[in-house]
Structure 1
Amino acid sequence: MKKVILALVLIVVLAGAFYEVKHFNTSTSNNQNVSQQRTSTSNSSISSTNSNTSSPQINSNAFNSKAIDFKLKDLNGKDVSLSDLKGKRVFLNFWASWCPPCKAEMPDIERLYEETKDSDLVILAVNLGEDKDTVKSFIDKNNYKFRILLDSDQTVAEQYSITSIPTSFFIDKNGTIVAKKIGAMTYEEMKNYVNTINK
């Protein structure tokens, strides 16, 4: 009888140890995946940016939440605030010129811009961490006309919980996020997302 009890105790202890090891490995693996994903978004500070708890942040799954206001400069040095666009629909895109998926979707963003520039849709493409000359050279070379904003220190990217790019938000006239897309989009996908914003 003692042998049976001892065997049962041993099985329970081994099962518990196995669970702890598996749980630890899963947790470590998840942390490494998040770290690798953040590293892939930037050559500089996205991977090392510490969360500023005093700044509001967009929850990664928070739809129907208010978009956080920000003020950034465009390529002409003019300040652009999200709050100034209340009453307009906003397609907010986070990107960088070194990011292949970002570059792949830009011709479609330009096409959408050309088709909607006289409407109430505003396209804002927020560049993460690159200097103005690099960004301007890339935009001029490709003859893009949509509005480019510079998030040099990636403060806005942090507020919007950007962990990979491109990432896009679709914001309605009341400043509410109605959709979010991580990854490159086709023109048709962009149109579908834009159509989810109230008119």
Structure 2
Amino acid sequence: MKKIFIVFAAVFLFSALAEAYSIDIRLDSVYFDNSTTTNLSNYIGKKPTLVMFFYPDCDPCQKEAYVIDRVYSYFRDKVQIVGISLSRDRYDIGDFIKEHHVKYPVWRIHSRSDLKSIGGILATPTVVIINKQGKIVAKFIGKRSFSCLKQILTNLVEGVR
């Protein structure tokens, strides 16, 4: 019985460790003249990462874009920030970027089935914060204040969390 428990504990531990590095979301360029693709995993691991999932015509998402832009300007080279549109409509995404003066990189989701690697998205905006080790440390649904996001990211940058 002890051996079975040890095996289950080991499997659980290794799956938990693997989960920290298994964020696999394929992304497509939002621009018509660019067929670039990437993966969210390319942004993870060097520094803390903030990801905002949004729909371009979502009012709370539009308000959150300004907050995320402030976070982007404040942390510059210390935090990786990425916007991911759940809409595939390049016109809507382009209008969103222009109207809200978005400075951080924005991509289109390649397939919504990829979202299961972060536990899915129930509503937008959803902000996911990932530490340098690739583990999700926070996931917020709805608008968050600059000070809330700043506090979490400052702790990650300083190695507190």
TM range (shorter): 0.7 to 0.9
Answer with 1 or 2: which has the greater Rg: 1
Structure 1 Cα separation of the partners of residues 78 and 28 of structure 2:
21
Q: CA deviation at 1:114?
A: 1.4
**Given the alignment of the two structures, is residue 123 of structure 1 paired with residue 81 of structure 2, yes or no?**
yes
Structure 2: gaps spanning 5 or more residues = 1-15
Partner secondary structure for residue 88 of structure 1: coil
Structure 1 Cα separation of the partners of residues 134 and 144 of structure 2:
22
Equivalent in the alignment of 1:136 = 94
- 1:128/1:157 contact within 8 Å kept: no
- 1:88/1:122 contact within 8 Å kept: yes
Name the Cα RMSD after superposition: 2.1
Q: Deviations over 1:141-174 (max 9, x none)?
A: 2221111110154233344311111111111111
- 2:62/2:100 contact within 8 Å kept: no
Equivalent in the alignment of 2:42 = 84
Structure 1 Cα separation of the partners of residues 112 and 87 of structure 2:
6
Equivalent in the alignment of 1:150 = 108
1:96 to 55, 67, 74: 55
TM-score relative to the length of structure 1: 0.60
Q: CA deviation at 1:93?
A: 1.2
Structure 2 Cα separation of the partners of residues 69 and 107 of structure 1:
27
Partner amino acid, structure 1, of 2:30: L
The equivalences for 1:52-63 within 5 A come to none
Structure showing greater relative contact order (alpha-carbon pairs closer than 8 Å, 6 or more residues apart): 2
Q: Percent identity?
A: 25
Structure 1: gaps spanning 5 or more residues = 1-61
Equivalent in the alignment of 1:69 = 24
TM-score relative to the length of structure 2: 0.73
Equivalent in the alignment of 1:181 = 140
Partner amino acid, structure 2, of 1:69: D
Q: CA deviation at 1:69?
A: 2.0
Partner amino acid, structure 2, of 1:131: D
